[in-house]
Each structure stands twice: as C-alpha cells, then as structure tokens.
Amino acid sequence: MKINKLSIAVSAAFCLVFSVAAFGQTETFSDPNVDYTFDISDTNWKLTSRPSNISPNVSYVYGTRSDGYLEVRKLSIDSGEEMRDVIKSEEDSLQFKPGFVAGKEESFSGNLPGRVYNFEFLKSGRNWSGRYYFLKADDNTVYVMRFEGYRDKLLSLRNVIDSMARTFNIATGK
C-alpha cells in the first residue's frame, strides 16, 4: 500500500512539473523577410502564412480560423500623420463587413506605442469581433496586428493577444 501512495505522489509531481514546463513555453516569431519579432505564449497559434519577398504578410490561426486569426501588416504613412487618421482609414474599409459595429479605440503600450481598435461584425451568421493593434515603429511606419474570431473566443484570448502585441518589436540588425 505504501508503494502505491509513493508511486502516485511521484507520478503527480512529474505531471505537475511537465505541465508547468509545457505552459511556460514561449515561441518567438522572426523571419529574415520581415523586420519585426513578437512572442507567442500559447502553442495553439500555428503559422499559416510565412512572409516572402513577394508578400511580407504573416498570418497565424488559433486552432481554426474562426477561433482566432492573426494577420500582421506593415503600413507606410506620411511623416506626421496622426494615428487616428490611420485607424480611420482602416475603419472605412471595415464598414463593408456585414453587421459592422464600430467599437472603442484605446491607448496601448508595449515595446512599441500604439492604439487598439475594437469592432464587431457578422460572418456566416455568427457574431465575430476584431481587435486591431496599430503599433507605431517610426514617423513613416505603422504595423497592424489584426486579430479576428468568434466574439466569445477572441474575448477569452484577450490576455494572450495583448501579450503578443506587447512583445511586438523591431528586430535589431535589420
């Protein structure tokens, strides 16, 4: 009987150590075709589109596209252009999504300063939401991390996607 209790305790300790190690893993996205990096703390995010010389865009999916989708884009802006104008331009194109409802815009701070724009829309008869992070690299460059997915799923991933945006940074040596 003592051996069973001991083996159960050892097995439980091993499982605890293994699960802590698995949850603590962070992957850093970087690629020679882009000049930025960011950390991905949840292993459910899978790279679906790698940047190339032709298309510098990056995309990730969380399980399925409807659970969570990320696309990273680089925007060139005029020197001195206000962030609200960049967001307004993006919002103008989003208004064509079915059931589009503009949400609030909020300040955001991480490695790069920026703003977050939230919105909701309908897709395939379901409520979806978007959370776009506009991160200013310099006077002429803004990066947009576009997260979209089912409204409740994206809301449950809020801490994870905030963390990804906070770690977004310009790669050194590029």
- Residue 53, pLDDT score: 85
What's the pLDDT tens digit per position in 37-84? Answer: 999 999 999 999 999 888 889 999 999 999 999 999 999 999 889 999
Instruction: Specify the CATH number for the domain of residue 38.
Output: 3.40.1000.10
Q: Give 28: exposed, middle or buried? Use CB within 10 Å, 0-12, 13-18, 19+.
A: exposed
Write the DSSP symbol of residue 102: E
The pLDDT assigned to 2 comes to 54
Residue 98 within any structural domain of the chain: yes
Question: Is 133 inside a domain boundary?
Answer: yes
Q: What is the DSSP string of 2-54?
A: HHHHHHHHHHHHHHHHHHHHHHT--EEE--TTSSEEEEE--TTEEEEE---SS
pLDDT of residue 54: 87
**What is the structure's pLDDT at 173?**
59
* Total Cβ atoms within 10 A of residue 168: 21
The CA distance from 105 to 115, in Å, is 7
- At 16 the pLDDT is 38
Would you say residue 87 lies in a domain?
Answer: yes
Find all residues with CB under 8 Å of 40, minimum gap 6, and list them.
26, 27, 28, 29, 60, 164
pLDDT per residue, tens digit, the chain (174 aa), is: 455 554 544 444 444 334 434 455 789 999 999 999 999 999 999 999 999 888 889 999 999 999 999 999 999 999 889 999 999 999 999 999 999 999 999 999 999 999 999 999 999 899 999 999 999 999 999 999 999 999 999 999 999 999 999 999 998 755
Instruction: Look at the chain and report how many structural domains it folds into.
Output: 1
1 domain-assigned: no
Assigned domain for 10 exists: no
103, β-bridge pairs: none
What is the Cα–Cα distance from 110 to 136, expressed in whole angstroms? 11
Q: Which domain holds residue 73?
A: 26-170
15 lies in some domain:
no
- Cα separation, 22 vs 25, in Å, equals 6
Q: Is 13 contained in some domain?
A: no
CB 57 within 8 A of CB 72: yes
Are 122 and 66 in contact by the 8 Å Cβ rule? The answer is no
Residue 100 CA to residue 62 CA, distance in Å, equals 23
With respect to residue 4, please indicate whether it lies within any of the assigned structural domains. Answer: no
